[in-house]
Structure 1
Amino acid sequence: MTAAPAGSRSGFPSGFQTGFTIHPDLVVEAAGADDVRDAVARAAAGGLRVAVHATGHGLPGAVEGGVLISTARMDSVRIDPVRRTAAVGAGATWGRVVEAAAPHGLAPLNGSAPGVGAVSYTLGGGLGILAREFGYAADHVRSLDVVTGDGVPRHVTPQDEPELFWGLRGGGHRLGVVTGLETGLAPVARLYGGSLAFDGDGETGARVLRRYLEWTRTVPEALTSSVAALVYPDVPQVPEPLRGRYVISVRIAYTGSAAEGERLVAPLRAIGPASADSLREMPYTDSHTIHNDPPFPHAYYGDGLMLSGLDPERAARVLELTGRKAPMMTVVQLNHLGGALATGPAAENAVPFREAGFLLRLLSPLDGTDVASVRALYEEVAGAVAPLVVGRSLNFSFGGGDRTDGFHDPRTHKRLAGLVSQYDPASLFGGSYGISRDAR
């Protein structure tokens, strides 16, 4: 374990999210579960709050004071091909898990970005690229190792501490520091996927989204998709063909045959000429190319709204607010939910809002843009879809750490609050339930 007062360091890196400061009183770079236990005990003795940092993608806001535990060195991944499971350390990324599972013809329920921490993403639910077929990543967790607020390391399973097992899977990071988990893997070695990109200007954008919404009512559970819309900035860092263009892309991941995949996407190709088409059969190790999330650290603010459904009129209004007339660059993503996401696992967990039909995600770079202006735009977008909002997504709230409402339905919130009272009575990991101090 490496531990040092933050003031004696050149500055702890914020990780992938650079938009918010990390200024703890003490930084602990943990090499294993014992280091985490000692750090939690030290924080408890000093009356200090605890935050956790793996890759830094999901930083909910500024981290000031307290003890920051970095789990980046705890990045072990062990695959059991017979049991189809992966034992994943707290600092391991999805990319490492994908690469380790692939030789066995297996795949985790990972998200779109390979650099994201697998454990932290799973604790928030974990919406993966094959989510409609297999459900949330949290649905496949077999066991977890966690250090709770009393400094006790616990191995949590459905048989041992079943209530804590329920809460950790979907409840986020408020119940302790998870040092590792075991999760099930899917028998997937390849898929048909990629994206279709269309010009988003004029009536084209609204037409693409309208056709997409109609199309989602016809597809099987084995097909998971999303739409992304953004106006690319006219700057040298953006490839010349994209500079200044408004692009709407439909992203596809389908575990059936390429021939059947081609048949399923035919209605999308009928929308009109695509400016780019990357749909193809690929090894699962190439699945990150479907979304092509930026791999470099940057500053951003984001939120995710769980919607009961979405009609073309409200969808068009969202594009109007976030397109060329928007006061800042805003990436809009609409994830099609349902399927296995709605049914849930055999062992109930704390992932909420399974009735939602779509997830509306908003993300804005903060370079040269103030948070207050972004929030004002997001409030206007939320107002446009207000009758359809059933809650907010814990995994996709970036930078809004002072707003903790809406992450769980009242029943789940009450049950989680009871667990906090039991396992973190001194509030080492936050205040009232919902306040995450994880820097992921």
Structure 2
Amino acid sequence: MPETPTGTWAGRVRDDDRAGAFTNDLVTLGARVRGRTLYPGDEGFAESCSGWLLTVEHRPAVVVEAADAGDVATAVRFAADTGRPVAVQSTGHGASVPADGAVFIATGRLRELSVDPRAGTARIGAGLRWGEVLAATAEHGLVPLCGSSDQVGVMGYLTGGGLPLACRTYGFAAGHVRSLDLVTADGRLRTVSPTREPDLFWAVRGGKSNFGVVVAAEIELLPLRTVYGGELHFPVEDAGRAAHVLGSYLAWAKEQPEEMSSSVTLMRFPDAPQVPEEFRGRSLVLVRVVCMGDEERGRRLVEPLRALGPGKDTCRAMPYPEIAGIYQDPKNPVMVHLRSALTYELDEEAVAELVSFIDPAAPGGPFPGIELRHLGGALDRPPARPHAVSTQGAAFHLWLRMPAPPERADAVRGTADEVLRRLRRWDTGAQLPGFQFDHDSAPDRVGRAYAEETYRRLAALKAVHDPDHLFRINHTIPPAPAEGIA
């Protein structure tokens, strides 16, 4: 049975005349959806709108835990009727803007999952994480183009473009989406594909949640069982060793075929009791690899990195689902500051700048984690199903992840600013839409995620499909009508 407000909130609705028509509408909303509706003060309200990224806090007017696509449509129509923005969240890995006063749609209960082994496809509900999809598809010898964490929600990943671990071989995951079911600002459930509303299909894959609430997706799967991959740890005692490893990696990466995708991460840990003893006060260079060739091919390609003398080497042939553990991304909610950039090729001067941040001889902090993901390959070719995301010709994706407890938030942001300032010479000025967070949520910065022509087209399509800007609790693209878009 549909749930209606109870307890303290119901009392407030009855007793507070200032709440007026909106609170009466809230009661009506609760009676019209199959899932739960939660209100400020209700048990479970805070948990339902929390997520993986704890640095963004939400204070919505109401949370709708949607039981099906019909609930999503009802919540969107309610938001439009009451003049409230819509926020949507599954896992909260991509949180960017506080959903204050919004109608917050939690999609975690949309758990449809079916695999068609003959067609090599999967149909996935918006509440699923990649780990669940990997488990269901791998038993058929089929796998999706997932990213570095199996805890990330499928829809936020796909609508942000999806940078898979095998990105140089297969390009963006968005190019392997066959169709999407989404609820648009008019409250309609639509299925979009290359033949059904192709402009909207193009926009949603890269335009994030600016065009509607995606409730399900049909994606292509790859016929794979194993992959060669892993991590090489290089403890560095001084800046010279760090520069040698980083410079050698960059030279190696330039020579790699498309079947090899990789990244390098620079880390320096404080000498603090909360840090595991094996890392306390130490600096590391970590190289991660994912090779789509066989084991012999993978071993041969990685051999120049092994010649650098890693302290730890986990590279091996592994079942494909295990690649989601290579990066060891945190599974539990975290309070971190996240920043990103796209860079040109990096030279010796860039190496020196990067290494300076993990120099063990430097007194005190800062302690940023700096990752460089090698791009190029299939990412630079037009996808078979065009979408709104591209690397804009960049050579590397730079990704900063820094613990940011409230008492250190300003210092952490200052450190991130300093890293990006000192690397500005190699910064293309662009970003990827799936890696824009609170710092990059303003429209003038959101535009960096797209080529100029792409952004104009997205803004024009926004004016067609969401002219009242209902979907703005995100890295927002304001509607801007343009001649020729219908």
Match in the other structure for 2:410: 372
| C-alpha contact 1:416 1:433 (8 A) present in aligned 2 | no
Match in the other structure for 1:12: 46
Q: After alignment, is 91-100 or 11-20 more displaced?
A: 11-20
Mapped pair 1:394 → 2:433: yes
| C-alpha contact 2:206 2:389 (8 A) present in aligned 1 | yes
Match in the other structure for 2:10: none
Q: Which amino acid in structure 1 is aligned with residue 141 of structure 2? A: G
Equivalent of residue 57 in structure 2, options 4, 17, 21: 21
Alpha-carbon distance in structure 2 between the residues aligned to 1:248 and 1:39:
47
Match in the other structure for 2:176: 140
**RMSD (Å) for aligned C-alpha atoms:** 2.0
Match in the other structure for 2:106: 70
TM-score with structure 1 setting the length: 0.94
How far off is 1:260 after superposition? 1.7
Map 1:1-400 onto structure 2 (within 5 A). Answer: 1-13=35-47, 14-202=50-238, 203-235=240-272, 238-271=275-308, 273-321=309-357, 325=362, 327-367=365-405, 369-390=407-428, 391-400=430-439
| C-alpha contact 1:24 1:64 (8 A) present in aligned 2 | yes
Question: CA-to-partner distance for each residue in 1:285-324, whole Å, 9 max, x for gaps?
Answer: 2112211112121101111111132223213302313665
Question: CA-to-partner distance for each residue in 1:244-293, whole Å, 9 max, x for gaps?
Answer: 2211110011121212211111111122x212111111111211221111
Question: CA-to-partner distance for each residue in 1:307-342, whole Å, 9 max, x for gaps?
Answer: 132223213302313665574432111000111111
The gaps in structure 2 that reach 5 residues or longer are 1-34, 479-486
Q: Which amino acid in structure 1 is aligned with residue 321 of structure 2? A: T
Match in the other structure for 2:459: 417
Question: CA-to-partner distance for each residue in 1:333-386, whole Å, 9 max, x for gaps?
Answer: 100011111113122210133411110101111125544333332232222332
How far off is 1:233 after superposition? 4.2
Alpha-carbon distance in structure 1 between the residues aligned to 2:146 and 2:475:
26
Q: Where is the helix percentage greater, Structure 1 or Structure 2?
A: 2
- What secondary structure is seen at the aligned counterpart in 2 of 1:250? strand
Change (3 A) 1:365 1:85: same
Change (3 A) 1:427 1:235: same
| C-alpha contact 1:329 1:365 (8 A) present in aligned 2 | no
- What secondary structure is seen at the aligned counterpart in 1 of 2:206? coil
Alpha-carbon distance in structure 2 between the residues aligned to 1:235 and 1:398:
28
Match in the other structure for 2:6: none
Question: CA-to-partner distance for each residue in 1:62-93, whole Å, 9 max, x for gaps?
Answer: 32111111001112221111111111111110
How far off is 1:7 after superposition? 3.4
Alpha-carbon distance in structure 1 between the residues aligned to 2:367 and 2:88:
30
Q: After alignment, is 321-330 or 104-113 more displaced?
A: 321-330
Could you say which structure has the larger radius of gyration? 2
- What secondary structure is seen at the aligned counterpart in 2 of 1:63? coil
How many residues align structurally?
435
How far off is 1:8 after superposition? 2.9
Identity of aligned residues (%): 39
How far off is 1:402 after superposition? 4.1
Alpha-carbon distance in structure 1 between the residues aligned to 2:134 and 2:124:
11
Q: After alignment, is 398-407 or 225-234 more displaced?
A: 398-407
Alpha-carbon distance in structure 1 between the residues aligned to 2:38 and 2:410:
34
Q: Which amino acid in structure 2 is aligned with residue 160 of structure 1? A: R
- What secondary structure is seen at the aligned counterpart in 2 of 1:169? helix
Change (3 A) 1:432 1:263: closer
Following TM superposition, the consecutive aligned residue runs of length 4 or more in structure 1 with deviations greater than 6 angstroms are none
The gaps in structure 1 that reach 5 residues or longer are none
TM-score with structure 2 setting the length: 0.85
- What secondary structure is seen at the aligned counterpart in 2 of 1:345? coil
Change (3 A) 1:208 1:279: same
Using CA pairs below 8 Å that are at least 6 residues apart, which structure has the higher relative contact order? Answer: 1
